Amino acid sequence: MTERHLPAPDLAAALDGKQFVMAVPTGKVGELFSAAQKRICDLLPLTATYPVFPHITLGSYADPGRVHALERTVEQWAAAQQPLEVETLRIETFPDPFRVVYIRCCATPTLEAAFTSLQSRMRDASVSLFGPMRTVRDHVFHMSLAYCDGTTAEEWAKLAEACRKVDLPVRRELVRNVRFAVFAGNEATRTLALRGPAIGPQGQSIQ
């Protein structure tokens, strides 16, 4: 683990003992995330909280006693995984009980392959999941923009409708790194390069 920072106290408590693998766009998709977050900020109440960087979660775990083994599994997966094609769609919202505003992303072939292969490796390693097991068909690839769990049902219905009306342009980006994050009081993250070959639309490798 190489980077550390302390998340908001309520978020830190909820995530304590959890581990995540995340794709983090830093180019055009990352710029769109920042712009979208600013646009919806005026629509949301002061109680809303916000992720500090754009991320697409590929795996969520709750196995604090096996962090080193989990990290080795992520290392091996990243070494074989090709870079990830990320393409944005639109702003959507998760319903109760989650109350999350997010940017939906396309289920591109590389995202689907990454999700499936990571899930397979973790299953083989008997890693405990955080949340239910989902197939790639059930998974929604997304970047959370804001968390609004402090609102009433009536407030949330109005806020969600307003946020869904915010138009976004489509942005695409090839993400070449993932972050492995461990929450244990602080958040410790490690950035890992995806070292498999990037595959173009005609099946050729992209160097």
**H/E segment holding residue 123:** helix 109-124
Could you count the other beta carbons within 10 Å of the beta carbon of residue 79? 12
Range name among 43-57, 149-163, 173-187 with the lowest pLDDT average: 173-187
33-55: per-residue pLDDT in tens? 999 999 999 999 988 989 889 99
Q: Where are the domains of the chain?
A: 3-206
Mean pLDDT computed over 119-142: 83
Kindly report the pTM of this predicted structure.
0.86
> Of residues 186 and 56, which shows the higher confidence score?
56
Residue 207 has pLDDT above 50, yes or no: no
Q: In the structure, what pLDDT confidence band is assigned to residue 23 with cuts at 50, 70 and 90?
A: very high
Contacts of 40 by beta carbon, 8 Å cutoff, 6+ apart: 91, 101, 145, 146, 163, 166
Name the CATH architecture for the domain at 3-206: Alpha-Beta Complex (3.90)
Does residue 206 sit in helix, strand or coil?
strand
